């Protein structure tokens, strides 16, 4: 008997670990779950109109995401200085205007510089502008020798010539397949990007990036309900928008915030927290993004908190293997974007991000759009691959793997032009 209990004690942690590791990839293994009601307040009041959504329920939902998922921002910090460090009226062979702008933040004797790369169409005004982060530096989005190189920490990627966490000339344009800059410009839209590591390097270290500027003397990491990296990145997008409001070349009321994968999670949180973003686009954002957590399909809360302990606030760990205890689910994140245009996209081979969970989230956010007299997602069943469902809430599942491709962008450009022009 004694040996039995000892074996049990030894085996429990192993089993728990296995629980973290084993991913559901088959629909038949999805557990039965019940989603929290987006339109019932904490006091049990049924939310029936825009007024009570905006006054009662929306603030409740936003606060639950702040306290339990992404973390709240511990204070206010405005741009101390913005400097246009490059301006070219004839970029990309003359079709675009290029600008590079450095935003400087100062607090508690610390300073942080964040650099925005902007391409604008010429001869038109008040065009939609896509704003999104990139993974490996602004210079990777297109082969343009004038793009300045970031000095921030970058994840090593020898294939891109990135070693010792520093980028080199070799990585110019390596991510151009993800950024069809010329097509965007020719369509009459603008595009702006920031290297996300300028705001906060993507590693489990709260001693770099924007976080330390907010610490008091005794602090070395955020409190349990304070911002992880995703909230920090989302904060950075809002500061870019602050800058756009001061730039006469840009109509800051037409900014579509966009992101792929972890940066899709970021775009959604930015859109939820900052209602100045006119539209939000989530590409393969998955767990902690558009996908419903309670389905536990692909990446789970426990898994994401284990692999990326710095992305969410510490409180989010409470829900590892306990998704049913979450006061929210991700359809409520999408609902925070209402009534603004929202595009959610998945890919057929991207099971890790749970395409069906992303679709269902868009569907279950739709009742909030309906309060505003809008249809929300115009579909109740998941569409076939490569057959976008187009509405104020749009959705597609593209054939292929986890990526953001020319096909995805073609849909987003059409969407932005229709919704924002
Ligand atoms: C990992 C992670 C995902 C994330 C993705 C990405 O796969 O598990 O949550 O979306 O990286 O950002 O590429």
Instruction: Spell out the long-range contacts of 271-275 with Cβ–Cβ below 8 A and sequence spacing 24 or more.
Output: 271/336, 271/337, 271/340, 271/342, 272/62, 272/65, 272/333, 272/336, 272/337, 273/62, 273/234, 273/238, 274/234, 274/237, 274/238, 274/241, 275/340
- Positive/negative CA dihedral, 41, 378, 275, 268: positive
CA atoms within 13 A on the CB side of 87: 5
pLDDT in tens, 190-232: 999 999 999 999 999 999 999 999 998 899 999 999 999 999 9
Mean pLDDT value across residues 301-327: 98
Using the atom order of ligand 1, give the atom closest to the CA of residue 287.
9
Q: Which tokens is 5 given?
A: 């209990």
Instruction: Please state whether 12 falls in left (phi above 0), alpha (psi between -120 and 50) or beta.
Output: alpha
What does the alpha-carbon distance between residue 254 and residue 276 come to, in Å, rounded to a whole number? 9
Given a cut of 50, whether residue 70 has pLDDT beyond it is: yes
Mean pLDDT value across residues 8-35: 73
Q: Does 299 sit in the ligand 1 pocket, CB within 6 Å?
A: yes
Find the catalytic residue in 261, 293, 346, 366: 261
What is the pLDDT at residue 5?
52
What does the alpha-carbon distance between residue 250 and residue 268 come to, in Å, rounded to a whole number? 22
Q: Give the closest residue (by CA) to ligand 1 atom 7.
A: 352
Q: Which residue's structure tokens are 């330390």?
A: 212
* pLDDT confidence band for 22 (50 / 70 / 90): confident
Query: Per DSSP, what are the bridge partners of residue 343?
Result: 281, 394
Q: How far is the centre of ligand 1, averaged over its atoms, from the C-alpha of 262 (Å)?
A: 5
Q: Which tokens is 184 given?
A: 């965007």
Torsion of CA 144, 148, 150, 154, to 10 degrees: 10
What does the alpha-carbon distance between residue 378 and residue 197 come to, in Å, rounded to a whole number? 37
Q: Which residue's structure tokens are 């990036």?
A: 209
Has 331 been annotated as catalytic? no
Q: Does 150 sit in the ligand 1 pocket, CB within 6 Å?
A: no
End-to-end alpha-carbon separation of the chain, Å? Answer: 73
Q: Which tokens is 271 given?
A: 């859109």
Q: Does 264 sit in the ligand 1 pocket, CB within 6 Å?
A: no
Q: How far is the centre of ligand 1, averaged over its atoms, from the C-alpha of 421 (Å)?
A: 32
Count the Cβ atoms, other than its own, within 10 Å of residue 56. Answer: 15
Q: Does 303 sit in the ligand 1 pocket, CB within 6 Å?
A: no
Using the atom order of ligand 1, give the atom closest to the CA of residue 299.
8
What does the alpha-carbon distance between residue 380 and residue 387 come to, in Å, rounded to a whole number? 14
Given a contact cutoff of 8 angstroms between Cβ atoms, the answer to whether 317 and 305 are in contact is: yes
Given a cut of 90, whether residue 329 has pLDDT beyond it is: yes
Using the atom order of ligand 1, give the atom closest to the CA of residue 262.
12
Given a cut of 80, whether residue 350 has pLDDT beyond it is: yes
Looking at residue 214, what DSSP letter applies?
A: G
* pLDDT confidence band for 14 (50 / 70 / 90): very low
What is the pLDDT at residue 306?
98
Please confirm whether the linkage preceding 241 is cis (ω < 30° from 0): no
Given a contact cutoff of 8 angstroms between Cβ atoms, the answer to whether 1 and 284 are in contact is: no
What does the alpha-carbon distance between residue 355 and residue 399 come to, in Å, rounded to a whole number? 11
Q: Which tokens is 387 given?
A: 């057959």
What is the pLDDT at residue 316?
98
State the average pLDDT for the chain: 95
Q: Which tokens is 14 given?
A: 């192993």
Given a contact cutoff of 8 angstroms between Cβ atoms, the answer to whether 200 and 211 are in contact is: yes
Q: How far is the centre of ligand 1, averaged over its atoms, from the C-alpha of 265 (Å)?
A: 10
pLDDT in tens, 366-391: 999 999 999 999 999 999 999 999 99
What is the pLDDT at residue 19?
46
Using the atom order of ligand 1, give the atom closest to the CA of residue 265.
10
Mean pLDDT value across residues 249-255: 98
Has 187 been annotated as catalytic? no
Q: Give the closest residue (by CA) to ligand 1 atom 12.
A: 262
What does the alpha-carbon distance between residue 225 and residue 73 come to, in Å, rounded to a whole number? 9
**Which of 299, 312, 346 gets mutated to test ligand 1 (max ligand atoms within 8 A of its CB)?**
299
Given a cut of 50, whether residue 13 has pLDDT beyond it is: no
List of residues 6+ apart from 305 with CB closer than 8 A = 311, 312, 316, 317, 320
What does the alpha-carbon distance between residue 37 and residue 243 come to, in Å, rounded to a whole number? 37
């Amino acid at each position: 008997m004694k040996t039995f209990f000892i074996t049990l004690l030894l085996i429990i942690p192993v089993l728990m670990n296995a629980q973290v590791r084993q991913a559901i990839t088959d629909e038949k293994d999805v557990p039965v779950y019940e989603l929290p009601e987006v339109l019932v307040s904490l006091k049990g009041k049924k939310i029936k109109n825009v007024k009570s959504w905006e006054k009662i329920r929306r603030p409740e939902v936003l606060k639950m995401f702040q306290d339990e998922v992404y973390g709240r921002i511990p204070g206010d910090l405005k741009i101390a200085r913005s400097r246009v460090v490059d301006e070219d009226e004839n970029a990309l062979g003359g079709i675009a205007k290029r600008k590079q702008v450095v935003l400087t933040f100062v607090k508690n004797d610390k300073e942080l510089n964040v650099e925005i790369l902007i391409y604008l169409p010429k001869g038109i005004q008040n065009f939609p502008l896509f704003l999104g982060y990139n993974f490996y530096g602004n210079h990777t989005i297109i082969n343009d020798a004038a793009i300045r190189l970031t000095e921030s920490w970058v994840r090593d990627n020898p294939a891109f010539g990135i070693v010792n966490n520093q980028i080199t000339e070799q990585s110019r344009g390596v991510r151009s397949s993800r950024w069809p800059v010329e097509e965007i410009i020719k369509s009459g839209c603008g595009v702006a990007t920031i290297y996300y590591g300028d705001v906060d390097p993507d590693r489990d270290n709260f001693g770099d990036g924007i976080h330390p500027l907010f610490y008091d003397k005794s602090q070395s990491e955020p409190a349990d309900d304070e911002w992880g990296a995703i909230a920090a990145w989302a904060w950075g997008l809002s500061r870019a928008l602050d800058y756009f409001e001061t730039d006469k070349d840009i109509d800051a009321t037409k900014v579509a915030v966009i992101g792929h994968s972890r940066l899709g999670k970021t775009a959604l949180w930015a859109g939820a927290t900052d209602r100045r973003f006119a539209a939000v686009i989530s590409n393969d954002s998955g767990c902690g993004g558009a996908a419903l957590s309670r389905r536990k399909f692909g990446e789970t809360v426990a898994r994401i908190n284990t692999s990326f302990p710095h992305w969410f606030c510490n409180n989010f760990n409470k829900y590892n293997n306990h998704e049913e205890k979450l006061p929210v689910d991700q359809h409520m994140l999408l609902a925070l974007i209402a009534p603004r245009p929202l595009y959610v996209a998945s890919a057929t081979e991207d099971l890790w991000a749970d395409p069906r969970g992303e679709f269902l989230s868009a569907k279950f956010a739709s009742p909030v759009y309906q309060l505003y007299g809008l249809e929300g997602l115009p579909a109740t069943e998941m569409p076939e691959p490569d057959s976008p469902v187009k509405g104020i809430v749009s959705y597609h599942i593209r054939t292929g793997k986890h990526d953001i491709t020319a096909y995805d962008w073609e849909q987003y450009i059409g969407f932005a032009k229709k919704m924002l022009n």
